[in-house]
Structure 1
């Protein structure tokens, strides 16, 4: 009998601990003030200042495919249900070369079969010549390096009205690109992004927008620390939400420091986005309704009500919802994340 008493006692202690924790949580929640309401104010601009172009020496040769080492830069969310992938280009050779214009793009599935594509130039991105410096072949995604070029691919994840693409598009797991003036192609494998949200290029109706070559950020420019990076962000999100309805949730901002964290005028910008391994249904930016609070005191947690439209055509499934401050040119702190199940 004694052999069985130990696990029974342990179970009783565990259940008592759970009950005590639940009771404490209920009291804590009851003691918290009503969350600050959401406002629909949006930022005037999210653009960074245009950097000064690098001077290109006269008679610098054009880059050819054999000169370049392509690296897949990951997949991220744009606004309006779009996703974006980046491809970086380092220089294998001992001399500089120039890239300018649009790459040719081919997409392949997991069995190596080419996926038919319709391509077009991406909007709003310059087409200046980019100097690719020698000795940059070890470029890595997410790591600033001077003298490296990149291109972006943009695609829709729904039909424009929030409905799934019909028929369902094939999943692209590799990309082949050709640089202007050279028919040889460079192939890169599509790898998951750092948050493991997106692992394939799945363009609705096989349409992709392609950017001109851009300059990869230089490490010489040290990002400003995000003034709100110290705030611990947590989300209280409903377990399920029906497609076509409004997702209402709460963001809690807790100050773990010994000094207050003050909000500026105007209030800071935040971004919220939702997606899974192949699609996303939201990426929006708003101004935080910070007027009622002014600052988060040491040890204090302030809650804010949020809302996000879930388009009627959103596919059923589990999505990751993320929330963070959007401070252009700054190093962000960890986002708050939660999962939500979309039903139909």
Structure 2
């Protein structure tokens, strides 16, 4: 049987298990040109919460009665495809289920995991997290050597990589994270220059101490009061990169309030810009090359929080908004063949 999580109702507040239905369906048989994939790892990401709302964001919402959308990696166990052979590792939009059919390749299809790459890294460093971090810091922020860069959500999958990209570009990097364990990891392992623990420290006071001349780049994953604090500490011609607003909970009709101090953008002749990594496909090859080079040299690190079993998916998604994860949140759905 193919166990699945299906969207049963749309959450009005935080995600609960009651929003999903645990179903058993027959394992699908591949048709001509298709392959059957046994899902091994599943990626859990904050953006999945936006897909539960009735209104479209950058892609349409998940429909009621539909298998919950999600990216995973797995192994081909049966194939009628000339492109995919039994035993191949592939990555694609598997959904929250144990088995998926792989058809076409491409951006929203299933693609082989390159030789020599840890398959689950396709959900982190070489997936949406790494690409978002690299594109946001490289093409949107245009972080330059000697600049001061501030990253919120610095212990998350995107923020941790974005800050390291800035460090490797010769920037001085300050992170913001929640709790002493995360703050320690950000400085000791990811090698940020400093990290503010927003749970125990005054963010504004610490910014004044750490960046008295202001920050040149603010890569924001959080929104809310943290965004406002950063905007009060911008340097002249700073760039504010809008990547996420997880503090809003991504509830329908509530993706965060307008910063009350948005006129700081005018006073500091600064720029605020949002982006979606999917709009930058031509840049993917260069991003892969640079990220893989840094990783191979040990100059860029990644970490994961692992949950065991597909049953944990709703709880793991909820945990992202409760700050339970360090780095990328993954679900181990099955063991490799």
Same fold (TM over 0.5): no
Choose between structure 1 and 2: higher helix proportion.
Answer: 2
TM-score by length of 1: 0.25
TM-score by length of 2: 0.25
| Bigger CA radius of gyration | 1
Choose between structure 1 and 2: higher strand proportion.
Answer: 1
